[in-house]
Structure 1
Amino acid sequence: MALPRIAVVIGSTRPTRFGDRPARWIFDIASKRGDIEVELIDLRDFPLPFFEEVASNAWAPTQSEVGVRWQKTLATFDGFIFSAAEYNRGPTGVLKNALDYAYPEWNRKTAAFVGYGGVGGARAVEQLRLIAIELQMAPIRHGVHIGGADFTAARQGTDLAELPHLQKSAETMLDELVWWTRALKTARG
C-alpha cells in the first residue's frame, strides 16, 4: 500500500500572516517521519472567490475554475493538517471558504490542526472540528496550540523548533493522524 498522502494547508492569506510559519514547521517534522508523504498547500495559490455556487459540489458541479482545481487537488490526499489562526474567536474566512468549496473530497479523511493565537487558536480549532464533522471528516483529538508566550516569542522571531513542548505535541498529533489516516484509507479502499 502506498504511503498516505497528507496536505498541510496554510489557512491564512494575509500579507502579514503568521500561518505559514507553523505550517512549514509541522511540514518539516512530518516530512522526516517516513510513514507519510506530505505536501504544503498554500491557499494563496487557490484564490477562491467567495462561495456563491448553486450548491455544494456534492449536489451540483462547481462553476469556478479555481474551485474545480482546488477540489482536484484535495482529492489526491488522504488527510489534512490545517494551520489555523483565530480571528474574533473563529477561523479565518479564507479557510472556511476553502472548506466550503469541496465536499466529497473531504469525506472519510482525517483532519488535524495547528492552532495559533491568544489561546493557541483553541476556539477556532473547536469550530473547525465541528465543520470537519459536517464534511464527514475525522478530526483527531490531539492538536498543537501555539498561544500565550510561545506565540509572542514566535512572532518576535523565535524558531518554533526551539520550543520542545510544541515538538512533543506535534509528535503526538502526527502519530494519531497517521493511525487514523491509515485506518480510513484502508476502509475507503
Structure 2
Amino acid sequence: MIDVAIIIGSTRPGRKGEAVAGWVHDLAVRRGDARFEVVDLADFALPPLDEPMPAITGQYTRAHTRTWAAKIASYDAYVFVTPEYNHSAPGPLKNAIDYLYAEWTNKAVGFVGYGTAGGARAIEHLRLVMSCLQVAHVSAQVELSLFTDFEDFTAFHPARRHKDTLTTLLDQVIAWSTALRALRRGEHCGA
C-alpha cells in the first residue's frame, strides 16, 4: 500500500494549514487505497539549512536532518498544503525541501494551495523545485481562496467543488506513486 504524507508547509502562528491539512486527511483516509499521515513542519524545527555538504551527497551531519530524512524517506508520495506568501511558497517549506535529495526522488506529489489567489503561484514555484528533485508532480491542484473558502479569512469552509478536485489529485498521486514503485526499489526496465 502507498504511504502518503500530507505536509503542512507553514510554521507561522495563526496559520490556516492545520485546518486545510485536516480536511485533506479526513477526505483521504476514507479512500482505503493508501495510508495517509499529516506531517507538520513545525514539529521538526529545522533551522535555516545548516548542512555543510549538498543534499545530493546524502552526507547528513546534523541530528535534525537525519530525523527529517528518515521521516520523508518513509513515504511513497506527498501532498503539500501550502500558503502563498509574496507570490511564492513559504520559506520554511522550501528550506525543508532543500535539506534532502534522494529521500524525495522517484515519488509523486500533489499540491493544495491557499491564499488570495488560491496559492497558485506558490504551487508553480514548488513544481519547479520538485522537478529538479525528480518528483512527479500531478496536474490536478486544489486552489483555496481566502476570500471564498475562509469565513472572515479565518474559519475554513471549502466550497463543495474542491472535494472533487482533491479526489482527482489523490487519484493521480496514488497512480503515479504506484507507477514509480519500480524506480524506488531500484528496478529498471531494460531490453
Fold similarity call, TM over 0.5 = yes
Aligned to 1:180: 176
CA distance in 1, matches of 2:75, 2:152: 29
Q: TM-score, normalised by structure 2?
A: 0.92
Q: Structure 1 residue 29 and structure 2 residue 27: aligned?
A: yes
Q: Which amino acid aligns with 1:12?
A: S
- Give 2:17's aligned amino acid: G
- 8 Å Cα contact 1:79/1:109 also seen in 2: yes
* Code of the aligned partner of 2:90: T
The one of 37, 62, 65 equivalent to 2:63 is: 65
Partner of 1:116: 114
Query: Matched residues in 2 for 1:57 and 1:10: separation?
Result: 21
Q: Note if contact 2:106-2:180 (Cα within 8 Å) is conserved in structure 1.
A: yes
SS in structure 1 opposite 2:88? coil
State the distance in 1 between where 2:48 and 2:33 align.
36
Give the gaps of 5 or more residues in structure 1: none
Aligned counterpart, 2:92: 94
Deviation string for 1:157-186 (max 9, x for gaps)? 2433xx211111111111111111111114
Match of 2:189 in 1: none
Q: Give the aligned partner of residue 138 of structure 1.
A: 136
Give TM-score, length-normalised by structure 1.
Answer: 0.93
CA pair 54-156 structure 1, distance change in 2 beyond 3 A:
closer
CA 1:186–1:52 in structure 2 vs 1: closer, same or farther (change >3 Å)?
Answer: same
Letter aligned with residue 168 of structure 1: D
Q: Stretches of 4+ moved more than 4 A in 1?
A: none
Given the superposition, is the C-alpha separation of residues 137 and 154 from structure 1 closer, same or farther in structure 2, using an over 3 Å criterion?
farther
% identity of equivalent residues: 36
Counterpart in the other structure of 2:73: 75
1:148 deviation in Å?
A: 5.1
Q: Which moved more, 1:60-69 or 1:168-177?
A: 60-69
